Amino acid sequence: MSPEMSNALIFVVVVVIFIFAVKNSIPHFMGKGACCGGGDKGKVIKPKKLDKVIAIKRIKIGGMHCENCSRRVQNALNSIEGVNAKVKLSRELAIIKIDREIDDGVFKKAITDLGYEVKE
């Protein structure tokens, strides 16, 4: 095989690999990929309806990259008794309504245990 033919073959293989890499990366960069072990429409813990909201807390969260990340954080927060939380990926923000006194450390632990960062 001639050197030109070998180079052409290598070039074609590299181009094909590049095309597949870009094609499979696009959903991830649009926030719909299988980041963080997701990719499916995992079960969402619906926010509880609270009888009486005594406080609303806003927590900035770092490290979320996709809808699955925000769903994981929202599920963790909504699994805490007395919490109604919504997580906004685009703003890196959790809006938490509570119906009882809950120490901020509980929220921080729930978020950091998932591998995300609570920003001050």
Mean pLDDT per 10-residue segment, the chain (120 residues): 88 93 74 55 78 95 90 94 95 96 95 92
- Taking residue 69's Cβ as centre, other Cβ atoms within 10 Å add up to 23
Please give, one letter per residue, the 3-state secondary structure of the chain. Answer: CCHHHHHHHHHHHHHHHHHHHHHHHHHHHCCCCCHHHCCCCCCCCCCCCCCCCCEEEEEEEECCCCHHHHHHHHHHHHCCCCEEEEEECCCCEEEEEECCCCCHHHHHHHHHCCCCEEEC
For residue range 18-47, list pLDDT tens digits in order: 998 888 777 666 655 556 655 555 677 888
